[in-house]
């Protein structure tokens, strides 16, 4: 059985982007993750160690956003997916990285990338 833990709207300032000014000035990034877990064991034991601690996960996502600038949001999404899958209870994840302040010359609401990754 697969259950889902969802953590949405994790926001932090990062210095990712293709252009030099993006790396210098930084901008907000917003991350949503869906984590596939088997919640039966954690629910029946009421044991935090048997699930994904979403508070710790949020802090690690913020760290991923704030450190080691990259050019592409695809690369940032891969980094965050690896962070999610570092939790033993995580089976699979869907990561969406939003870049609401992307350098686009026309009015827009959001730009994002979503990736699905699982354990190999």
Cβ proximity of 59 and 84 under 8 Å: no
**88 has pLDDT over 80:** yes
Closest to 113 measured CA to CA, from 58, 31, 15, 6: 31
Q: Give the end-to-end CA distance of the chain in Å, rounded to a whole number.
A: 18
Q: What is the pLDDT of residues 33-81, one digit of tens each?
A: 999 999 998 999 999 989 999 999 999 999 999 999 999 999 999 999 9
- Name the catalytic one among 6, 13, 23, 99: 99
Domains, in order of start, for the chain: 3-118 (3.30.1130.10)
Token pair 């209870």 in the structure block, residue: 89
Measured from the Cβ of residue 97, the count of other Cβ atoms closer than 10 Å reads 30
Give alpha helix (H) positions in the chain. 20-25, 39-45, 54-66, 73-85
pLDDT of residue 120: 74
pLDDT of residue 71: 98
**28 has pLDDT over 80:** yes
- Cα-to-chain-centroid distance, residue 29: 10
Task: Round to whole Å and give the CA distance between 14 and 113.
Answer: 16
Cβ proximity of 50 and 88 under 8 Å: no
Q: Which two tokens stand for residue 72?
A: 């592409």
pTM across the whole model:
0.96
**89 has pLDDT over 80:** yes
Task: Judge whether 6 counts as a catalytic residue.
Answer: no
What's the mean pLDDT in 5-30?
97
Q: What is the pLDDT of residues 1-13, one digit of tens each?
A: 799 999 999 999 9
pLDDT of residue 1: 73
Give the CA distances from residue 86 to residues 17, 91, 98, 103, 109, in Å, rounded to whole numbers and listed in that order: 25, 10, 22, 32, 32
């Amino acid at each position: 059985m697969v259950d889902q833990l969802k953590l949405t709207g994790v926001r932090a300032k990062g210095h990712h982007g293709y252009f030099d000014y993006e790396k210098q000035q930084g901008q907000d990034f917003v991350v949503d993750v869906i984590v596939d877990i088997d919640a039966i064991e954690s629910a029946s034991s009421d044991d935090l160690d048997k699930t994904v601690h979403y508070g710790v996960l949020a802090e690690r996502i913020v760290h991923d956003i704030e450190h080691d600038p990259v050019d592409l949001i695809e690369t940032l999404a891969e980094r965050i997916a690896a962070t999610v899958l570092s939790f033993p209870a995580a089976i699979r994840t869907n990561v969406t990285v939003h870049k609401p302040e992307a350098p686009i010359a026309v009015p827009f609401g959001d730009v994002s990338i979503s990736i699905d990754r699982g354990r190999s």
